[in-house]
């Protein structure tokens, strides 16, 4: 009997020890969870490091361009196949809105379909955010109309400016832009048909690239601001723009190449930049013969890359052969070998600032 009582007493004591250990582990788990999001303290990634067994954990928060978003999503999915305990939320509010978050330290990576602007650099500097600029691929801004529009197959840069530049506010018919296009040197005959424009908003890197490549070709000489007409349906979401183009037989709009080439019910127009009409293809975007080609980037928070093993590993994977293959897999144009090696060198050296 006394032996039984001693055994019971020993079991109760052992149970109490296990209870205390479990409670302590539970508290630790709670702390890890609270630090795993995109809050100000973690700044887009919990630097939790490696769990027992060598598997990475933590989080890497990615935001920015809706154009680059499919690339980062594809890379994240591949990376998670090997590192399932790393949380990698990716969203695409637009390059500009993404930089707002990035330069406040709220995200680890900003996807960008246009190069960082001076004002964005200043904002990051004010908040002590150093970044590493990584060129990851190429895109061709695709000018589109509805597939039912048989009136045109090619437009010049002069036509595009006349249709959606700062002097075209109020034009609600394609032919309204005829005099301006002709004045600029175009010989295109624009149709007498309703002009329904859907395109990127100002928060979008696609908007910034469009202004830089097309609008700035003409606006300064004409005493105009470097911007588009304000009176069109705008969105930072390429899918919404595609839907707008699909919704009108005589629509006009522009998105990134990967979205355009996969879209149904639209017609991609060739563009004449002065050397004849050229369609966006992998080859013409890569060699620069397509007049509205542009680079695509990711911007990495340099301090977080040092403090967060999951972030460093994710960018390593992004630039690996398997990771960077996602650029072509989702429909964009891969870098030339020498350009990819230059990007990898910048990352390996953790070279900060705009290049």
Supply the pLDDT for residue 55: 81
Supply the pLDDT for residue 304: 98
Q: How many residues does the chain have?
A: 355
Instruction: Check whether 302 has a pLDDT greater than 70.
Output: yes
Mean pLDDT of 30-51: 38
Supply the pLDDT for residue 299: 98
Percent of the chain topping pLDDT 90: 84
Give the tens place of pLDDT for each residue, 225-240: 999 999 999 998 999 9
Supply the pLDDT for residue 181: 98
Mean pLDDT of 101-115: 97
- Can you give the chain as a three-state secondary structure string? CHHHHHHHHHHHHHHHHHHHHHHHHHHHHHHHHHCCCCCCCCCCCCCCCECCCCCECEECCEEECCCCHHHHHHHHHHHHHHCCCEECCECCCCHHHHHHHHCCCCCCEEEECCCCCHHHHHHHHHCCCCEEEEEEEEEECEEEEECCCCCCCEEEHHHHHHHHCCCCCCCCEHHHHHHHHHHHCCCCCCCCCECEEEEECCCCHHHHHHHHHCHHHCCCCCCCCCCCCCCCEEECCHHHHHHHHHCCCCEEEEECHHHHHHCCCEEECEEECCCCEECCCHHHHHHCCCCCEEEEEEEEEHHHHHHCHHHHHHHHHHCCHHHHCHHHHCCCECCCHHHHHHHHHHHHCCCCECC
Instruction: Check whether 256 has a pLDDT greater than 60.
Output: yes
Supply the pLDDT for residue 332: 95
Q: Confirm whether pTM is higher than 0.75.
A: yes
Mean pLDDT of 329-349: 97
Mean pLDDT of 26-45: 38
Mean pLDDT (the chain, rounded) = 88
Contacts of 25 (CB under 8 A, 6+ apart): none
Contacts of 298 (CB under 8 A, 6+ apart): 62, 68, 72, 109, 110, 111, 112, 134, 136, 315, 318
Supply the pLDDT for residue 174: 98
Mean pLDDT of 89-108: 97
Instruction: Check whether 289 has a pLDDT greater than 80.
Output: yes
Instruction: Check whether 327 has a pLDDT greater than 80.
Output: yes
Mean pLDDT of 120-142: 97
- Strand 86-87, strand 58-59: pairing: parallel
Give the tens place of pLDDT for each residue, 50-79: 333 348 999 999 999 999 999 999 999 999
Instruction: Check whether 151 has a pLDDT greater than 50.
Output: yes
Mean pLDDT of 94-114: 97
Instruction: Check whether 244 has a pLDDT greater than 70.
Output: yes
User: Lowest-confidence range among 25-34, 68-77, 115-124, 339-348?
Assistant: 25-34
Supply the pLDDT for residue 169: 97
Instruction: Check whether 28 has a pLDDT greater than 90.
Output: no
């Amino acid at each position: 009997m006394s032996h039984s009582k001693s055994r019971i007493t020993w079991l109760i004591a052992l149970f109490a020890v296990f209870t205390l250990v479990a409670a302590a582990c539970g508290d630790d788990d709670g702390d890890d969870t609270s630090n795993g999001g995109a809050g100000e303290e973690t700044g887009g990634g919990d630097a939790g490091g490696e769990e027992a067994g060598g598997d990475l954990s933590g989080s890497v928060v990615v935001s920015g361009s809706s154009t680059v978003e499919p690339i980062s999503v594809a890379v994240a999915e591949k990376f998670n196949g090997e590192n399932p305990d790393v949380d990698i939320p990716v969203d695409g509010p637009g390059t500009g809105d993404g930089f707002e978050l990035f330069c406040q330290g709220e995200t680890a990576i900003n996807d960008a379909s246009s190069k960082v602007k001076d004002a964005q650099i200043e904002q990051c500097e004010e908040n002590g955010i150093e970044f590493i600029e990584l060129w990851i691929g190429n895109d061709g801004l695709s000018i589109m109309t509805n597939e039912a529009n048989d009136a045109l197959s090619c437009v010049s840069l002069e036509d595009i400016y006349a249709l959606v530049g700062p002097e075209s506010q109020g034009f609600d018919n394609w032919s309204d832009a005829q005099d301006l296009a002709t004045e600029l040197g175009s010989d295109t005959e624009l149709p007498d048909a309703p002009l329904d424009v859907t395109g990127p908003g100002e928060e979008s890197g696609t908007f910034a690239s469009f202004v830089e490549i097309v609008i700035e070709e003409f606006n300064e000489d004409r005493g105009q601001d470097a911007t588009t007409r304000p009176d069109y349906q705008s969105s930072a979401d390429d899918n919404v723009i595609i839907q707008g183009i699909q919704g009108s037989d005589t629509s006009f709009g522009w998105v990134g190449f990967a979205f355009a080439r996969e879209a149904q019910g639209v017609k991609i127009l060739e563009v004449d930049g002065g050397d004849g009409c050229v369609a966006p293809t992998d080859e013409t975007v890569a060699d620069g013969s397509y007049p509205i080609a542009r680079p695509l980037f990711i911007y990495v928070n340099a301090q977080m890359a040092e403090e967060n093993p999951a972030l460093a590993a994710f960018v390593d994977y992004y630039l690996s052969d398997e990771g960077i293959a996602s650029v072509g897999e989702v429909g964009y144009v891969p870098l030339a070998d020498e350009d990819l090696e230059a990007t990898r060198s910048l990352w390996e050296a953790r070279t900060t600032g705009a290049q």
